Structures are given as structure tokens and as C-alpha cells.
């Protein structure tokens, strides 16, 4: 049995080596190139392909993969919005993704960013780098003094709540489908409006589905406390960035951390040093002392990468054996 993988990065190689040592009977071959109509032939002779890319899996690409004799495709990431499922269905393909790899990775990053904002580490680090070791006026706030509003209590939101409890913060939460345990703890408020009215800091953990598009906008920000802190490590389209920038300018929003951005494709995970950003809003946000920008790295930990490799390769083998892995995508 053979599995062929596309787009393998250097940081994935230790996990791949580990998987291979646990599955010596499976032949593994890979390329750093992405899956395209041109590179599809590299998978010829394999039983399954393992992939990860932002580039679309178009009809043409999937047809080329099927023409190379490969009809099982396992994504090493969660997002499947770049897959042409109509074409995949026509071709009789099997597809899997990795919906849960390490919720802690994202929860930790978001709460680290919240604590950094509260302790004003960006301006303090800048001062120290310039050898200015004075305290004032860079005074911080304590996590335990904050009421933190968690929107979305799924896999990641729940981990964030655990971290907040460790800090001693007061947690309030809202979810359309409340979790029983959290309900028993009495953490939920009844509406988003109630959460907006009570929270000193708000962190988002909901999917970027169309219904949630720009849920943080001019109107929702107006309902928040003056000086609210907002953290978005979920999906860029949840936030109307112009409304947040207006809020930062007026002081309504005191601090903002973002790991995701609506127009991040082609911007994040690129080296812009010595070049001008193609998007002036990002340049503006990065320049602000009270804004933390990270380029979609919340997931990017050794543990998460390990899970993405192991789960996708396991699914690829399972498809090749004619089984349906638990992470198969139904379409
Ligand atoms: N930055 C990163 O690297 C990274 C990595 C992985 C996931 N994410 C993002 O993190 C977010 C959370 O992921 P998850 O795995 O916890 O998802 P999940 O599906 O486990 O949980 C999402 C929760 O949000 C709730 N929800 C949906 N819409 C809502 C709304 N309008 N109001 C209130 N609740 C709502 C759902 O009921 C569900 O409980 C997603 O947006 C995901 O894309 C980011």
C-alpha cells in the first residue's frame, strides 16, 4: 500500500518520520509541491493522497488526480471550502479532513494574546528594546479583575474557559447550542447583547459561516463596554475590521488582537520585510501599540502539526483499505 503526500513542509517531516516508523508496511512518498493538474501525476501508483494547501482543489485538479488512479484524498487541515465537492462526487472520490487537532493550541494562543494586551507587553517590550527601563505609563491590568466574554463554547472556546479559570477571571459565555456542563456551572448569559454589555474583554470561538459574517461590527461594538478588549483567533470574516479600527480610534475599543484577517490569503505566511504591505490597513494595525497581529499561527504548534500528519495519514490508509475513517467528510 502506498500513500503520496503533497506540500510537505520541513516542520512536518519529524511527524511524518514518526508515522512511518509506526507504519513500516506502508510505502510513503512525498513532494513539497502543491497538488495541481500538473503535479497530480506524481501520485500515480499510490492508493491515497495526503494534501494541505490554500490553493483550490478544482475540478481540473481532482480529475487529474483521479486520472492518475488516486481517488482517496486526505486533507491535513480542517478547512474544506477550497474543495470542489461536486467534482469530487462525480469522480467518486473519498475525502477526509482533520477537524480537531489540538484545540489547546488555539485556546492558549488567544489567551496569551489577551494577557499580553492587558499587561501591555508590546509597548513595554518596545521601550526595553530602546533601553528605556522606566515603568510609567505602561501600567497593566490583572486578568482576575476582568469579566471575559467567550463567544462559542465548542472545542476551542471550552479550553479557553479552562485557562481563564486558572487566571481567576470571571467568565461569561454565549453559544447557540449551550454545553451541558458549562450550563450547570451557570456560565452562560442568554444573549450576545447581554455578553456585550457585561464583558471587559471578548474572545471569539465561532465558525466563519455566512450567518456569522461580520458579527463584530459597528452595531455590536456600540453595545460593548467602553474600553473593551477584543480577541479574534477564529476566522477573519467574523470581524468588520473597519468598525474595529473606528473603535480603536475613538477609544471605544482599548485593545485588539487578531490571528486571522478577512483578506489574509496571499498576505499571511509571506515575507514582506523590505517591501510595502499590499494592504494599508494591516500596516496601520501592526503599527499600533494596542494591537497584536499574528499571521494565523494559533494552530501552529508541534503537537498540532503532529496530529494533522498522523490523523490524515491514518485516514488515507483507512480509505485505501476500503474503510470509512471517522474523519471522512460527508458530501
Ligand atoms: N487561528 C487558528 O489557527 C485556528 C485553528 C483552528 C480553528 N480556528 C477557528 O476557531 C473557531 C472555533 O473552532 P472550534 O473547533 O472550537 O469550533 P466548534 O465547532 O467546536 O465550536 C464552535 C461553537 O460555536 C457555536 N456558534 C456558532 N455560531 C455561533 C453564534 N453566532 N453565536 C454563538 N455561538 C455560535 C457553535 O454552537 C459551537 O458550539 C473556528 O472559527 C475555527 O475556524 C482557528
**What's the average pLDDT block by block, 10 residues per block, for the chain (331 residues)?**
97 97 98 97 98 94 98 95 96 97 97 98 98 97 98 98 98 97 97 98 96 98 98 97 98 98 92 96 98 97 96 98 97 95
Residue minimizing CA distance to atom 19 of ligand 1 = 154
For the domain spanning 103-293, the CATH number is 3.40.50.720
Residue of 80, 156, 157, 307 best suited for mutating to test ligand 1, as the one with most atoms within 8 Å of CB: 156
The answer to whether the CB of 87 falls within 8 A of the CB of 67 is: no
- Shortest-distance atom of ligand 1 to CA 100: 15
| Distance between CA atoms of residues 75 and 167, nearest Å | 36
Distance 154 CA to ligand 1 centre (A): 6
Residue 295: the pLDDT is: 97
pLDDT of residue 54: 83
Catalytic residue among 109, 120, 158, 235: 235
To the query of whether residue 109 is one of the catalytic residues in this protein, the response is no
- Predicted model pTM: 0.92
Pocket-forming residues, ligand 1, beta carbon under 6 Å: 78, 103, 106, 151-157, 174-177, 205-208, 212, 233-235, 259-260, 296, 298-299
Domain(s) labelled CATH 3.40.50.720 in the chain stretch across 2-101+302-320, 103-293
Known catalytic residue at 296:
yes
The reported pLDDT for the residue numbered 29 is: 97
85 exposure class (CB count in 10 Å sphere: 0-12, 13-18, 19+): middle
Residue nearest atom 8 in ligand 1 by C-alpha distance: 234
CA quadruple 286, 288, 294, 295: dihedral, nearest 10: -20
Going from the Cα of 51 to the center of ligand 1, the distance in angstroms, rounded, reads 23
What's the pLDDT at 106?
97
Mutational pocket test of ligand 1: of 154, 172, 293, the residue with most ligand atoms within 8 Å of the beta carbon: 154
Chosen CATH of 2-101+302-320 out of 3.40.50.720, 3.40.1670.10, 3.90.1150.10, 2.60.40.1930:
3.40.50.720
Between CA 298 and CA 164 the distance in angstroms is: 17
Residue carrying C-alpha cell 495526503:
50
Residue 60 a catalytic site member = no
Q: What are phi and psi of 50, to 5 degrees?
A: -115, 130
What is the 207 CA–ligand 1 centroid distance (Å)? 4
Q: Which atom of ligand 1 is nearest to the CA of 212?
A: 31
Query: What sign for the dihedral angle of Cα 77, 82, 87, 89?
Result: positive
Tell me which residue has its CA closest to atom 21 in ligand 1: 154
Q: Sheet holding 147-151: strands in order across? A: 170-174, 147-151, 201-204, 228-232, 253-258, 291-293
Which DSSP string do the residues of 137-204 spell out, in sequence order? T-----GGG-EEEEE--SHHHHHHHHHHHHHT-EEEEE-SS--HHHHHHT-B-SSHHHHHHH-SEEEE
Q: How far is the CA of 206 from the centre of ligand 1 (A)?
A: 3
Residue nearest to ligand 1 atom 5, measured at CA:
299
Which one from 141, 158, 296, 310 is the annotated catalytic residue?
Answer: 296
Amino acid at each position: 500500500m502506498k500513500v503520496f503526500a503533497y506540500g510537505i513542509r520541513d516542520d512536518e517531516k519529524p511527524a511524518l518520520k514518526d508515522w512511518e516508523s509506526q507504519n513500516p508496511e506502508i510505502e510513503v512518498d512525498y513532494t513539497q509541491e502543491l497538488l495541481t493538474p500538473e503535479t497530480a501525476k506524481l501520485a500515480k501508483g499510490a492508493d491515497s493522497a495526503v494534501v494541505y494547501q490554500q490553493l483550490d482543489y478544482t475540478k481540473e485538479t481532482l480529475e487529474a488526480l483521479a486520472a492518475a488512479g488516486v481517488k482517496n484524498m486526505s486533507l491535513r487541515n480542517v478547512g474544506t471550502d477550497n474543495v470542489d465537492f461536486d467534482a469530487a462526487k462525480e469522480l467518486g472520490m473519498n475525502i477526509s479532513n482533520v477537524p480537531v487537532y489540538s484545540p489547546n493550541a488555539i485556546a492558549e494562543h488567544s489567551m496569551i494574546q489577551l494577557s499580553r494586551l492587558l499587561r501591555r507587553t508590546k509597548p513595554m517590550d518596545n521601550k526595553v528594546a530602546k533601553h528605556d527601563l522606566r515603568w510609567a505609563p505602561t501600567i497593566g491590568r490583572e486578568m482576575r479583575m476582568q469579566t471575559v466574554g467567550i463567544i462559542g463554547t465548542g472545542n476551542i472556546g471550552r479550553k479557553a474557559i479552562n485557562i481563564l479559570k486558572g487566571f481567576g477571571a470571571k467568565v461569561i459565555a454565549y453559544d447557540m447550542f449551550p454545553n451541558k456542563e458549562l450550563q450547570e456551572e451557570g456560565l452562560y448569559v442568554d444573549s450576545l447583547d447581554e455578553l456585550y454589555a457585561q464583558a471587559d474583554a471578548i474572545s471569539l470561538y465561532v465558525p466563519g459561516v455566512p450567518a456569522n459574517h461580520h458579527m463584530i461590527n459597528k452595531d455590536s461594538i456600540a453595545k460593548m463596554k467602553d474600553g473593551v478588549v477584543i480577541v479574534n483567533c477564529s476566522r477573519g470574516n467574523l470581524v468588520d475590521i473597519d468598525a474595529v479600527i473606528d473603535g480603536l480610534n475613538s477609544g471605544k475599543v482599548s485593545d485588539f488582537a487578531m490571528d486571522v484577517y478577512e483578506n489574509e490569503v496571499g498576505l499571511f505566511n509571506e515575507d514582506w520585510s523590505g517591501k510595502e504591505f499590499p494592504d494599508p490597513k494591516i500596516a496601520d494595525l501592526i503599527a499600533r501599540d494596542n494591537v497584536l497581529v499574528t499571521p494565523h499561527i494559533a494552530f501552529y504548534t508541534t503537537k498540532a502539526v503532529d496530529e494533522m500528519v498522523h490523523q490524515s495519514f491514518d485516514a488515507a490508509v483507512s480509505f485505501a483499505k476500503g474503510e470509512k475513517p471517522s474523519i471522512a467528510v460527508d458530501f
